[in-house]
Amino acid sequence: MLPFKSGSAMAEFTSPPRLDRVGHRPRNLWRSDDDFQSDMLEGVSRTFALTIPQLPPGLCRVVSNAYLLCRIVDTIEDEPVISGARKNYLCQQFLGVLNATKNAEPFSRQLCASLSSKTSTAEHELIRNVPRVIQITRRFSERQREALQHCVGTMANGMAQFQLRNEEQSLQTLEDLDQYCYYVAGAVGEMLTRLFCLYSPEIAKHHDRLMQLAVSFGQGLQMTNILKDLWEDYQIGACWLPRKIFADEGFDLRDLATARNRRGFQRGIQRLVGIAHGHLRNALAYTMLIPSHEVGIRNFCLWAIGLAVLTLRKINSHLYYTDGNQVKISRKSVKGTVVVCRLAVRHEHVLKLLFYVATLRLPLARLSTSLSPAETNANTLDSAVNPSE
């Protein structure tokens, strides 16, 4: 998954495009929409630049755009020099742009001026190109736009709630983590499901069950990212771990800087790995509801699941990690995941067996709680990954 109107192509540009140093127009104005979005994705997320192109062309275009829209909100949230209130204001301004009540060009300039050097060069470039991203959005069908707007609105408003809480160092409970993951990833899973169902009547037959599992799929990927990026987030003053989980193990997250070899901290990490593992089981169940002939959509899902499982395995075997690079999977592992998924994509029993073997030594938590404000019920499906069935 992702942790994502009419008008002419250049209608929103209210001033002539600036020239580069040798007097030529910026390169992105000459690129096709697909090439432009591909270049933007490559800059802000190599993972999704790898997985999204597996989708059928029509879906690839709209999902690429959806990811870029979500990344714009994410860039606002991650900027360390902007206050929570200011982030909320900028998110609301962006929703106005997305809903065609505000112009994209002034918003783009305003946000660019607010970003610091701590935001990556690729994200600066994305924000400069907000007008073109929005123009692409406006070419989609009404129902596609509605799916994108609902997702981005949920994400922006949900992120703002957490920013305005101004909590330092951690979330309070696992329920807080569930809610945060819903806003930043579960809502993306719901959006993708809506887009998949619009694309295929055959997929739409499973709409209700897919929607139940979509939030869990997103949460599994997001929790994996939170664990992987734990120390990098902490360095910029953020921590998305639930305090109570660690308190139950005798560790206070306020002492995170000295936690590197503490057993209580490691047990807390293992509990979260077990929960993420449970969500990824649901992700596999989701994927197997996609018809086997929809190879592109299945690969899109399977590659994300496979990379997340490998990351959880590294975290579980390196509980003393102090840097995300220590639990980063190798390029060889990425290539191996791609090859294996391509070979097994149509074969459900093989997929179950592969998942079972890959997760055999991971802790596992049984899921039984609602995962979203919409009371989405995403329970673990043991039969989805039991190779004996």
Question: pLDDT (tens digit, 9 = 90+) per residue, 12-60?
Answer: 222 333 333 333 334 455 579 999 999 999 999 888 888 999 999 989 9
Six-digit token string for 128 = 């400069």
Angle at 345 between CA 289 and CA 336, to 5 degrees: 135
pLDDT tier at 323, thresholds 50, 70, 90? confident
Instruction: Annotate 283-321 with b (16+ C-beta within 10 A) or e (fewer).
Output: bbbbbbbbeeebbbbbbbbbbbbbbbbbbbbbbbeebeb
CA proximity to 48, closest of 27, 72, 65: 65
pLDDT score recorded for residue 101: 86
pLDDT tier at 5, thresholds 50, 70, 90? very low
Global pTM value: 0.85
8 A C-beta contact, residue 181 and residue 138 = no
pLDDT tier at 168, thresholds 50, 70, 90? low
Q: Rounded mean pLDDT of 83-88?
A: 89
Distance CA 281, CA 94 (A): 35
CA proximity to 182, closest of 215, 217, 228: 215
Distance CA 318, CA 57 (A): 39
CA proximity to 1, closest of 43, 44, 63: 63
User: In a 10 Å sphere around its CB, with 0-12 CB exposed, 13-18 middle and 19+ buried, how is residue 27 labelled?
Assistant: exposed
Six-digit token string for 258 = 């000295």
pLDDT tier at 83, thresholds 50, 70, 90? confident
pLDDT at 370 over 60: no
- Residue 126: which H helix or E strand, with range? helix 121-128
Six-digit token string for 138 = 């406006």
pLDDT at 374 over 80: no
Residue type, 289: L
pLDDT tier at 388, thresholds 50, 70, 90? very low
Three-state secondary structure call for residue 171: strand
CA proximity to 225, closest of 74, 93, 114, 347: 74
pLDDT score recorded for residue 253: 87
Distance CA 172, CA 389 (A): 39
Residue pLDDT, tens place only, 58-70? 899 999 999 999 9
CA proximity to 256, closest of 267, 265, 244: 265
Six-digit token string for 382 = 């043991």
pLDDT tier at 385, thresholds 50, 70, 90? very low
As a whole number, the mean pLDDT across the chain is 85
pLDDT score recorded for residue 348: 95
Lowest mean pLDDT among 120-124, 271-275, 317-321: 317-321
CB atoms within 10 A of CB 332: 8
Given the structure tokens 């997001």, which residue do they identify? 222
pLDDT tier at 255, thresholds 50, 70, 90? confident
Distance CA 243, CA 166 (A): 15
Q: Rounded mean pLDDT of 226-235?
A: 90
pLDDT score recorded for residue 354: 97
Q: Which residues pair with 370 in a beta bridge?
A: 377
CA distance readout (Å), 131 to 7, 103, 139, 326: 12, 8, 13, 38
pLDDT at 284 over 60: yes
